[in-house]
């Protein structure tokens, strides 16, 4: 299923990529094609050794208002594609081997919040709005990633109430790394991306591997995995300084 060129834009510069959700008329709600197209773009970035990391953003006025609810329901084939395309996207996000930086203006709701939470460094505008409104549509999901980001108690309240919340609260809860002035999030995210691109590539990839692989694991499991990575660094080939 090809992705319309107007719905996703991939650019690169100075060792990093920028992926823009470009369906502004629909608040960048994720169509089936966008989900599969974004997964393909992540694979392209992952395979490109000249790119150290990626920035994920949305065209004005929003980051992403979630999944395209107009495609919910329908016949069996439509429902299967709803499930399959979503699975493909979030599998690609969870296994992406390079750092992901989110630049959020406007709304990040439902599936858009899930996209945000899949990113490692999250930068948002002061007027950005977040929420997990799934229960309002008779659906559910996103809680596990939210709990990992902000802790059990706050995540339960936000998931069950389905209320929206602003950037200040998101930052206080630990969901955001930084709040910046409206209209400056992409510039700030690209500055961070360029800084990451200047780091030794091997170390950046290894640290990202630890972040991805230990997500959701117990401390004991996480420590064991970090120990294995340390073993590879100390006993494996290379001196850790390669780019």
Q: Which pLDDT tens digit goes with each residue over 176-216? A: 999 999 999 999 999 999 999 999 999 999 999 999 999 88
**CA separation (Å) from 138 to 69, 90, 133, 134, 238?**
12, 21, 9, 7, 52
Average pLDDT over residues 209-234: 91
Q: For residues 187 and 218, state if they share a domain.
A: no
**CA separation (Å) from 232 to 218, 224, 239?**
21, 13, 11
How many domains does the structure of the chain reveal? 2
Q: Predicted confidence band at 4 (pLDDT cuts at 50, 70, 90)?
A: very low
Please name the residue that has the structure tokens 């692989």.
213
Q: For residues 150 and 208, state if they share a domain.
A: no
The residue range of the domain holding 30 is: 8-197
**Rounded to whole angstroms, how far apart are CA atoms 124 and 192?**
13
Q: For residues 95 and 154, state if they share a domain.
A: yes
Q: For residues 205 and 177, state if they share a domain.
A: no
Domain for residue 166, yes or no? yes
Structure tokens at 86: 């979503």
Q: For residues 154 and 189, state if they share a domain.
A: yes
Q: For residues 61 and 19, state if they share a domain.
A: yes
Q: For residues 74 and 131, state if they share a domain.
A: yes
For the entire predicted model, the pTM comes to: 0.90
Q: For residues 70 and 138, state if they share a domain.
A: yes
Q: For residues 99 and 215, state if they share a domain.
A: no
Domain for residue 105, yes or no? yes
CATH number at residue 88: 3.90.226.10
Average pLDDT over residues 150-167: 96
């Amino acid at each position: 299923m090809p992705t319309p060129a107007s719905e996703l834009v991939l650019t690169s510069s100075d060792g990093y990529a920028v992926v823009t959700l470009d369906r502004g008329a629909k608040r960048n709600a994720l169509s089936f094609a966008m989900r599969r197209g974004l997964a393909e773009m992540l694979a392209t970035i992952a395979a490109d050794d000249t790119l150290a990391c990626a920035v994920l953003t949305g065209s004005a006025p929003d980051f992403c208002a979630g999944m395209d609810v107009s495609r919910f329901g329908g016949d069996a084939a439509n429902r299967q594609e709803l499930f399959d395309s979503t699975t493909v996207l979030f599998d690609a996000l969870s296994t992406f081997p390079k750092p992901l930086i989110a630049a959020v203006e406007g709304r990040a709701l439902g599936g858009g919040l899930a996209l945000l939470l899949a990113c490692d460094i999250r930068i948002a505008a002061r007027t950005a709005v977040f929420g997990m409104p799934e229960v309002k549509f008779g659906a559910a999901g996103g809680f596990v990633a939210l709990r990992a980001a902000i802790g059990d108690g706050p995540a339960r309240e936000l998931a069950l109430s389905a209320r929206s919340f602003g950037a200040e609260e998101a930052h206080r809860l630990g969901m955001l790394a930084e709040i910046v002035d409206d209209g400056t999030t992409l510039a700030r995210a690209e500055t961070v991306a360029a800084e990451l691109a200047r780091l030794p590539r091997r170390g950046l990839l290894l640290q990202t591997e630890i972040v991805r692989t230990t997500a959701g694991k117990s401390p004991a499991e996480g420590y064991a995995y970090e120990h294995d990575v340390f073993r590879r660094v100390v006993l494996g080939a290379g001196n850790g300084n390669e780019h």
